[in-house]
Amino acid sequence: MQSVRKFARVVVALSSLLVLVPACAAAQTQITIGAGTGGSVEFSGAGQTQLSLIGSCSQTNCIQGDAYLGSNVGTYTMWISGNNPIVSATGTPNIFAVNMNGGTMNFNFLSGSSAINGTIQLTSLASTSAPQFIGTLTVSGSSGIFAALWKAGNVVPLDFTVSLPQGNSLVSQVVNGQAGSTFGDISSGEILAAPEPATIALIGSGLLAIGGVLKRHKRK
């Protein structure tokens, strides 16, 4: 009878976690970079492919476009200061390493009186026909409705996709020296918010509870 009760405790603890985890995923907030942007990415060179951002804002190597957080629509700018990033092939097919090459990629999103800004560190580029940049955003500052979601010092996941027009060279061809250059529009992407400490604590408590029950059961 006692072992049945212990088993029931484990089931309850596991059930709590299963309820919590989807809730966390569903509640995850993100800035979504929209499909209609005023900029594109150009890849040029061979072997050590340079990446340039081309757009309408006044910065060097810059793109500008639409982004939104829930119903709050705004504009974002993203630009490179210093040297252009370098894209190079790795041992995994269709995965390329991105070296910022001493440069800094800056990000700013403005919606009314609310703003978030920071620096982007790109780490990799996945795929070749619809390449997706993967990296992180280190938040420098935020205001208005963004202040509670992104605080200065937060490092959060970021990605954005480039849509290469049909007939354009693939990124892999440029990296391998089979094509001189290729380019495409920024089509979509997202910047996630930092998880809430309370949520992390709840998940941690659930795991500790399961660990305690299993440990006691093992001793018996």
pLDDT (tens digit per residue) in 89-114: 876 788 999 999 999 999 999 999 99
pLDDT exceeds cutoff 90 at 80: yes
Reported confidence tier of residue 199, pLDDT bands at 50, 70, 90 = very low
Give the 3-state secondary structure of residue 214: helix
Q: Which pLDDT value is given to residue 125? A: 94
Residue identified by tokens 């800004």 is 117
Q: How far is it, in rounded angstroms, from Cα 187 to Cα 52? A: 16
Q: Which pLDDT value is given to residue 12? A: 43
Give the other-Cβ count within 10 Å of 92's Cβ: 10
In this structure, what DSSP letter does residue 145 have?
Answer: G
pLDDT exceeds cutoff 50 at 21: no
Q: Which pLDDT value is given to residue 23? A: 36
Give the other-Cβ count within 10 Å of 98's Cβ: 20
Residue 110 pairs in a beta bridge with: 75, 115
Q: Which pLDDT value is given to residue 135? A: 96
Q: Region 46-64: what's the mean pLDDT?
A: 86
Q: What is the pTM for the complete model shown?
A: 0.76
pLDDT exceeds cutoff 60 at 202: no
Mean pLDDT of the chain: 80
Highest mean pLDDT among 11-15, 32-36, 91-95: 91-95
120-167 pLDDT tens trace = 999 999 988 889 999 999 999 999 999 999 999 999 999 999 999 999
